Amino acid sequence: MRSATNRDPARRLRDASSLLGLEFRPRLTVVLVFLTLMVAVVGWRIARDTGARRVDVLAHEAILLFDADSPAGATREPLAVADAEKVFRGLAAVPMDLPRDDDFVPVEVRRVTFSKRPAASLRFLYAGDAYLLVVSARDRLLGNGFPSAFPEGSFVSGERGGKSFVLWDREGASCILVSDVDVTQAFDLVRRLFT
């Protein structure tokens, strides 16, 4: 009885050729190339959809706002917390309470365009360090298909060019805080004062 496998040497030579002693199988090569391309495309789509690139763009834009608003040596009159909160709520359209801490000193509240959307910015000092908080309530900054770019209570933080940032969602708004301080200190400030 014959075996089910083809052991005919003439057929093997027709299906495979040898280059420097390596066997070349055209069908197998086509399948492997196709699978490699599929894995590359899926990997690219996953990397693109993670939002890492979008976070980088938002962080860069917020850092530019932070640098543009803080000219060296310029001092501004501090605002009363209640007045700053009233103006900030009106601009942000988000019910956000500002901290009533002695170390928290609001310096400026204004409307800005952030990521091509209207937003409110709050420049403040906390324990002598300068911070900028940008809040956008019109549309989620990182996505519009889901209720949030990431689950409530989740944060994205990092450092770019010596500046730290913390990005989070809360109560229908996307928020980003930028400062010169260490990212752990900025993250701790966000957790204590704004969540």
For the chain, the domain total comes to 2
Q: What is the pLDDT of residue 146?
A: 42
Question: Please, are residues 136 and 111 in contact by the beta-carbon 8 Å criterion?
Answer: no
Pair of tokens at residue 97: 């309470």
* Same domain? 40 vs 56: no
* Same domain? 91 vs 40: no
Q: What is the pLDDT of residue 69?
A: 60
d(C-alpha 96, C-alpha 170), whole Å: 9
* Same domain? 28 vs 58: no
* Same domain? 38 vs 75: no
* Same domain? 131 vs 166: yes
* Same domain? 69 vs 19: no
* Count of C-beta atoms within a 10 Å radius of residue 89: 17
Question: In 3D, which of 109, 133, 114 has the Cα closest to residue 58?
Answer: 114
Residue the block writes with tokens 């990431």: 150
Question: Please, are residues 15 and 28 in contact by the beta-carbon 8 Å criterion?
Answer: no
* Same domain? 58 vs 145: yes
* Count of C-beta atoms within a 10 Å radius of residue 111: 13
Which stretches in the chain have pLDDT values below 50?
73-74, 140, 144-152
Domain that holds residue 107: 51-193
Question: In 3D, which of 74, 52, 64, 162 has the Cα closest to residue 112?
Answer: 64
Q: What is the pLDDT of residue 179?
A: 93
| 7 Cα distance to chain centroid | 58
CATH number of the domain encompassing residue 160: 3.30.200.100
In a domain, 3, yes or no: no
Q: What is the pLDDT of residue 36?
A: 92
d(C-alpha 69, C-alpha 72), whole Å: 10
Question: Please, are residues 177 and 131 in contact by the beta-carbon 8 Å criterion?
Answer: yes
For residue 144, the 8-state DSSP code is S
In a domain, 55, yes or no: yes
